[in-house]
Chains A and B, each alone.
Chain A
Amino acid sequence: MGLYFCATFLMLGVGAYFIIEDLELGDPLTIVNSFMIYYLAADLIMRYMFQKMPVLNIRTLLYQPIKKNGVVKYSLWKTVASFFNIMHAFFFVPFSIVLITQGYDPLGVLGWHLGIFALFYTNNFLNVMMNNMDSVFYPLVALMLILGISQYYGWFDITVYTNPAFQVLYELPWTAILPWALLVGMYFAAFSYFRRHMYLDAGLATKHSEAKTEDYAWLNRFGNLGTFLKNDIRLIRRNKRSKTTVIMSVFFLFYGLFFFTQSLETFDHPTWKIFAGIFISGGFLFSFGQYVPSWDSAYYPLMMSQNIKYREYLNSKWYLILFATVISTILSVWYIYFGIDTYLAILVGAVYNIGINSYLVLWGGAYIKTPIDLNSNKNAFGDKQAFNAKTMLLTIPKLVLPLGVYMIGHIFIGETAGFILVALTGVLGYVFKEKVFGIIEKIYKKEKYKTLLAYSQKN
């Protein structure tokens, strides 16, 4: 995933200038500058959610004969080399080079580049101080959303005010000193913040949220299934990593905008509607489902030695995926705005997800075997092991098969027939649920020892 980001940023860095020019949006530097405020805000949000704090490794250093200031300095400088900083270079370095080759004033570009550079590092140190400050963080996210929406509908355009601040870095290169001064100030602020909190019972203390025993007694009627569902709900609600997954699956709801707004011509074919439909209704299915049983990796030995039947365990996860798919489908009802057939595609996608894909993710999960650290967002975007040959093979029936089925119906009869065929495939899959679960159960049993071994590597 990191590599993917770098590649995308690199391509954008090289291509942005020419894309903006081609689309005749105006002066490329001005355009980039007007989005800069959103870029910086998004960067800060990403950092807050995913960048690991340096404090985590400090404890062991405290007892060593190193001066405290040294430890603080070391930890802060360590964040400098973080991927979250380097990533942006993949965009800004090629973009700046392109600017110079296109006849922009080299000194101006240099000033602009260095100024922006300092701003991203300011974010880096700001984030150090923003650890566990949800009360600041969520309003910031809301503010950015409101500003974005206002700009889209032309009510209020914040970039009119922020753009000149970035533009001036190019026009008067010496002003780059200002963000650098800000950066230096932020560094010292972070330094003293860090230094003050460097005690085991202060900043380094692990934050304990007050726990409340929750009954979910209404789930008791489902018997053993309810027992597992209760735990799965607690799992999702009480752990950082699973919360991130739920947020990610909400983003999937908007995935269809790429396809249905006709913003990209390539996607202007009904087949892509099915594709989008599968993703919109299946956000949770893909982001949560593919890591079953890794969600339970921390206590898998317990699950394997307790009085538990695989069938019930898998069934609970399946129902969770079912509920989430139904909810996603209901929440995406606003796609009707793009035409009833668009929403039909989502419904059909949902049926296929429930009937076929729900099994496939559970099946694929048996091969992933990556232990999940529930309290950290590391690897939340997937990791190498999640992309082995077996899971790759399983994406074919997940995505390619429904598209193929649709095409057959579409070519021979028409759009509606294509929809019906895909939905029927899903229904057919559902009919064979018990049979398929039997097969998956066998695979889980076969993989049991390997899975236990792989999970214990971390524990």
Chain B
Amino acid sequence: MINVQNVTKKYGNKTVLNIEHLDIPKGQSFGLVGNNGAGKTTFFSILLDLVQPSTGTIISNEVDVNNSEAWKPFTSAFIDESFLIGYLTPEEYFYFIGELRGRNKADVHSLLEQFQDFFHGEILGQKKYLRDLSKGNQKKVGIVASFIGNPEIIVLDEPFANLDPTTQIRLKSIIKDLASNQEITVLISSHDLMHVTEVSERIVVLEKGDIVKDIVTSEETLKELENFFSGTLAD
């Protein structure tokens, strides 16, 4: 589904991302971990053609993302608050995304219906603009909006950050549901090793732009990751 070839990103002499080869098959739930500055967001940004790679290409579903816009209809993402429109109410925002993705109001409503628990009554009908919602609630809106319009690739950067414990648990079951669907490829990054191992079939560890680990998730994965990151601490 996603094929990364020799992608590097340099700012001046500093290489922030250097992935020689990476294949993410369709339907995989893919977790990306790494410390700050490891290149996680840069990788997602290149995948979404928000940043131009210094070299290399990413082919997403046979589309070279840097040269064609044909990836947009089947890809959706929530990276940070710059994916939200502050002066809209959550409803307006969902409808807007829906209209962009060819979904009418009824479609959007039936989708939102499934996330009533996740919203916990704090999102819909609150008479608030997105800019006035708390960080956690903004995140809920952004995550759910990325599910609108049956995307085949969903990219979520740090989806667990800023969420309260109940919502984190609900989000995990939502992502697991998505992952069980063989049509949807989910890419998430996280600083929370426990969450990410729980929801991903495969975990890639980035360090200073390089892939240093590529693991199929198993019982031992969490331990392995913890050892790895305490190791980098010792260095």
Q: Contact residues of A with B, CB < 8 Å? A: 206, 208-214, 224, 227, 230-231, 234-235, 238-239, 298-302, 304-309, 374-375, 449, 452, 455-456, 459
Query: Which DSSP category, helix, strand, loop or mixed, fits chain B's interface?
Result: loop
CB within 8 Å of A: which B22-81 residues: 48-52, 69, 72-73, 75-77, 79-81
A211-B127, A212-B127, A307-B101 known; A299+B86 contact, CB < 8 A? yes
In the assembled complex, B115 has its CB within 8 A of some CB on chain A: no
Interface size bucket, B side? 35 or more
CA distance A101 to B87 in the complex (A): 56
**Is the beta-carbon distance between B100 and A231 smaller than 8 angstroms?**
no
A206 proximity list for chain B (CB < 8 A): 132
**Is the beta-carbon distance between B49 and A213 smaller than 8 angstroms?**
no
In the assembled complex, B83 has its CB within 8 A of some CB on chain A: yes
B96 proximity list for chain A (CB < 8 A): 227, 230-231
**Is the beta-carbon distance between A213 and B92 smaller than 8 angstroms?**
yes
**Is the beta-carbon distance between A459 and B82 smaller than 8 angstroms?**
yes
Can you pick out 11 interface pairs between chain A and chain B where the beta carbons lie within 8 Å of each other? A212-B89, A213-B91, A224-B99, A224-B100, A227-B100, A302-B82, A304-B50, A374-B86, A449-B50, A455-B82, A459-B81
**Is the beta-carbon distance between B101 and A305 smaller than 8 angstroms?**
no
**Is the beta-carbon distance between B82 and A299 smaller than 8 angstroms?**
yes
Among all A-B residue pairs, the 5 with the closest Cβ atoms: A238-B87, A302-B83, A227-B99, A305-B48, A211-B129
Pick the contact of A239 from B48, B76, B83, B87 — CB < 8 Å? B87
CA distance A86 to B51 in the complex (A): 43
A211-B128, A227-B96, A307-B101 known; A302+B85 contact, CB < 8 A? yes
Please give the distance in Å from B201's CB to the nearest CB on chain A: 24
Q: Contact residues of B with A, CB < 8 Å? A: 48-52, 69, 72-73, 75-77, 79-89, 91-92, 96-97, 99-102, 126-129, 131-132, 149
CA distance A374 to B86 in the complex (A): 9
A208-B132, A211-B132 known; A305+B87 contact, CB < 8 A? no
**Is the beta-carbon distance between B89 and A298 smaller than 8 angstroms?**
no
Pick the contact of B89 from A211, A299, A301 — CB < 8 Å? A211
CA distance A301 to B81 in the complex (A): 10
CA distance A306 to B83 in the complex (A): 9
**B142 nearest CB neighbor, chain A only:** A302
Please give the distance in Å from A410's CB to the nearest CB on chain B: 47
**Is the beta-carbon distance between B132 and A306 smaller than 8 angstroms?**
no
B81 proximity list for chain A (CB < 8 A): 459
**Is the beta-carbon distance between A305 and B75 smaller than 8 angstroms?**
yes
Pick the contact of B49 from A209, A234, A235, A305 — CB < 8 Å? A305
B83 proximity list for chain A (CB < 8 A): 299, 301-302, 305
CA distance A224 to B73 in the complex (A): 14
Pick the contact of A304 from B49, B129, B131 — CB < 8 Å? B49
**B81 nearest CB neighbor, chain A only:** A459
**Is the beta-carbon distance between B89 and A308 smaller than 8 angstroms?**
no
**Is the beta-carbon distance between A302 and B84 smaller than 8 angstroms?**
yes
CA distance A452 to B83 in the complex (A): 12
**Is the beta-carbon distance between A213 and B89 smaller than 8 angstroms?**
yes
B86 proximity list for chain A (CB < 8 A): 298-299, 374
CA distance A49 to B123 in the complex (A): 32
**Is the beta-carbon distance between A305 and B50 smaller than 8 angstroms?**
yes
**A239 nearest CB neighbor, chain B only:** B87
**A308 nearest CB neighbor, chain B only:** B100
**Is the beta-carbon distance between A452 and B129 smaller than 8 angstroms?**
no
**A455 nearest CB neighbor, chain B only:** B82
**B73 nearest CB neighbor, chain A only:** A307
CA distance A459 to B81 in the complex (A): 9
Please give the distance in Å from A69's CB to the nearest CB on chain B: 31
**A242 nearest CB neighbor, chain B only:** B87
Please give the distance in Å from B150's CB to the nearest CB on chain A: 12
**Is the beta-carbon distance between A374 and B87 smaller than 8 angstroms?**
yes
Pick the contact of B79 from A212, A214, A301, A309 — CB < 8 Å? A301
**Is the beta-carbon distance between B82 and A301 smaller than 8 angstroms?**
yes
CA distance A139 to B84 in the complex (A): 36
CA distance A378 to B71 in the complex (A): 38
B51 proximity list for chain A (CB < 8 A): 449, 452
**Is the beta-carbon distance between A208 and B128 smaller than 8 angstroms?**
yes
Please give the distance in Å from B97's CB to the nearest CB on chain A: 7
Q: Which of A209, A227, A301, A309 has the most CB of B within 10 A?
A: A301
CA distance A276 to B38 in the complex (A): 56
**Is the beta-carbon distance between A210 and B49 smaller than 8 angstroms?**
no
B52 proximity list for chain A (CB < 8 A): 449
Pick the contact of B50 from A307, A309, A452 — CB < 8 Å? A452
A227-B99, A304-B50, A308-B72 known; A235+B87 contact, CB < 8 A? yes
B91 proximity list for chain A (CB < 8 A): 213
B84 proximity list for chain A (CB < 8 A): 299, 302
**Is the beta-carbon distance between B73 and A456 smaller than 8 angstroms?**
no
**A306 nearest CB neighbor, chain B only:** B100
**Is the beta-carbon distance between B72 and A238 smaller than 8 angstroms?**
no
Please give the distance in Å from B26's CB to the nearest CB on chain A: 20
CA distance A374 to B84 in the complex (A): 14
Q: Which of A208, A230, A302 has the most CB of B within 10 A?
A: A302
A208-B128, A212-B127, A305-B75 known; A300+B82 contact, CB < 8 A? yes
A231 proximity list for chain B (CB < 8 A): 85, 88, 96
